[in-house]
Amino acid sequence: MHEVSVVTSLVDAVIRELDRYNVTKVNSITVKIGDLTNLGEEQMSFAYEIVTRGTILEGSEFIVEHEPIELECKQCGFKGPAKVISDPDYDSHSIPILACPECGGAVKVTSGQSCVVKCMDIEEAE
């Protein structure tokens, strides 16, 4: 499961960051996940629960914010969201088309690849 290694490195980074403060409790962690990363939200929450066991993050809420895929076309100048088709094999899954919806040209992905901790809701000791 790809999500476990991703969540492990996110959690490691958060714990390193929290070391600099006198944190008594972590209420929640918000992460921004690009839709192009193919990371499953449910799998990530499940991995988070396991990975944080025995750490200061244990019991905190794991909030996932989606980042939509956006493209930029060099040929016609199109800027905007990727066209998405649904995957016939999975109901909840969709496949982004990484080509210009206007002219079919090659595009640069400008958004949708993030996998970062956006914010943390923590309680510090006086």
Residues whose CB is less than 8 angstroms from the CB of residue 109 and which lie 6 or more positions away in sequence, other chains included:
36, 69, 70, 71, 82, 98
Asked if 106 touches Zn ion (CB under 5 A), the answer is no
Draw the binding track, 29-68, toward Zn ion (x: CB under 5 A; -: no contact).
----------------------------------------
Which of 47, 4, 12, 48 shows the shortest CA–CA distance to 28? 48
CB of 64 to Zn ion, least distance (A): 31
Nearer to Zn ion, 9 or 110 (CB): 110
What is the CA angle 25-2-52, rounded to 5?
Answer: 15
CB of 34 to Zn ion, least distance (A): 21
Nearer to Zn ion, 32 or 83 (CB): 83
